[in-house]
Structure 1
Amino acid sequence: MPSWILKEYLTCFSPSRSIEASVKTDTALESSAAMTGTVFTPALQAMPHVKSSTGDMLTMPFLDVCRLVLPVIEKFGSSMALVKSDIGGNIDRLDAKYATDSTSYTLLYEIVRKEVAENTAKKSASCTNGLLWLTRAMDFLVELFRNLLAHQDWTMHQACTEAYVATLKKWHGWVASAAFSVAMKLVPDRKKFFSLLGEGNLNADIENFISTFSPILQENHNFLKSVGMDDMKAS
């Protein structure tokens, strides 16, 4: 990848974070990810717990699900390395905010409500921005796997490109779009990629991933839209 594109991609893919942000390692989650099954199994097992008994989105369970999606991204190899770092950084940002007052921030959207009230939500370093771009990145992954199931004749490159157009492209400037196009040239062969996803009923797990995660992500969008924070673009 040309160095100038790489530099811009690092700053533009998700403008809400620095590429130096580390991905939090959680021993319990790693152990869960090592269980027998497909790479989707741990995340699928965690998804039913993202909401409280009253239907509110819980901060840590939602972030845990996103962490458990990271091993899925790793299977793409170097083509998705920056995406993984971006997602991990936004998880860390929200996690750090939660750690400052776990009682007040038990519910995910309380973090956003506080920033909206303080007029800090639109800042590039805000947790609101972090949640928005985290949700958008997960939208991309869901759409990518939807493409792979629905279009058996598509190459990985085509499936990734179409998913990008349907989810992230409209929020990116031309530099970020160009950088993404370059990165997608590094995606693995489709057959090889599927061989890395684990043993079990892979298609069923992918379908479950799509059908279960999509409503969660849509709920994030609905809330962010309700407070005027779902349309921020890359600067």
Structure 2
Amino acid sequence: MEGSVFTPSLEGMKHIKSPEGEMLTKPFLDVCKLILPVLDKFGSAMSLVKSDVGGNISRLEKKYETDPAKYNHLYSMVKEEVDCKTATDSSSCTNGLLWLTRAMDFLVELFRNLLAHPDWTMTESCTDSYGKTLKRFHGWIASSAFTNTGCIEVGSR
């Protein structure tokens, strides 16, 4: 995919782990941010996805910025919240990270579908991707909203 809209993300992926194999917070979030302009190309169909992804990135960035040395690794944020018993709170960084990675799974599957099935409509591609990645995490109301609109808010459920 040299020279595609994905090239910066693919290059950035090479730098998101420390030499010890731990996920580095800033490089990870920087790579996640690279998807936001790509989502703009889809217009309003992806506006809720973009909003959720951006919101979860912002939540994690705000925490990181309070103490970059302490939160250099994503694990440190999660461990702190687990130790404080706040990891399951809807506004926790752990929850934000969970939904950010789920959204990224959805987007990867969507891009795979768009590449593998050029004859599919955007709705077909989204529906298939949603069913494979996010549907099991959403209740019937969110799933119904997806079916009716062809797109859905992916985070903070």
Question: Shared topology, TM-score over 0.5?
Answer: yes
Select the residue among 100, 104, 126 that pairs with 1:160: 126
Alpha-carbon separation, structure 2, partners of 1:234 and 1:85? 11
What are the within-5 Å matches in structure 2 for residues 142-181 of structure 1? 142-181=108-147
- What is the count of residue pairs matched by the alignment? 153
- Could you tell me how far 1:106 is from its partner in structure 2? 0.2
CA offset digits 1:121-176 (Å, max 9, x no partner): 00000000000000000000011111222223322211110000010111011221
Paired amino acid for 1:155: T
Unaligned stretches of 5+ residues in structure 1: 1-35, 186-232
Partner of 1:90: 56
Partner SS, residue 32 of structure 2: helix
Alpha-carbon separation, structure 2, partners of 1:234 and 1:42? 27
CA offset digits 1:62-96 (Å, max 9, x no partner): 00000001111111100110110110000000000
Partner SS, residue 34 of structure 2: helix
Change (3 A) 1:72 1:234: closer
Change (3 A) 1:172 1:47: same
Alpha-carbon separation, structure 1, partners of 2:64 and 2:31? 16
Paired amino acid for 2:87: A
Give the TM-score, by structure 2 length: 0.90
- Could you tell me how far 1:98 is from its partner in structure 2? 0.5
Select the residue among 48, 55, 71 that pairs with 2:37: 71
Unaligned stretches of 5+ residues in structure 2: none
- Could you tell me how far 1:184 is from its partner in structure 2? 1.7
Alpha-carbon separation, structure 2, partners of 1:180 and 1:41? 29
What are the within-5 Å matches in structure 2 for residues 97-116 of structure 1? 97-116=63-82
Q: Is the 8 A contact 1:50 1:62 kept in 2?
A: yes
CA RMSD of aligned residues (A): 1.8
Partner of 1:40: 6
Higher CA-based Rg: 1
Q: Is the 8 A contact 2:29 2:61 kept in 1?
A: yes
Moved >3 Å (runs of 4+): none
Give the TM-score, by structure 1 length: 0.62
Which structure exhibits the higher relative contact order, with contacts defined as CA atoms closer than 8 Å and separated by 6 or more residues?
A: 1
Greater Cα shift, 155-164 or 116-125:
155-164
Partner of 1:51: 17
Give the % identical residues: 63
Greater Cα shift, 57-66 or 139-148:
139-148
Q: Is the 8 A contact 1:148 1:154 kept in 2?
A: yes
Paired amino acid for 1:106: N
- Could you tell me how far 1:180 is from its partner in structure 2? 2.1
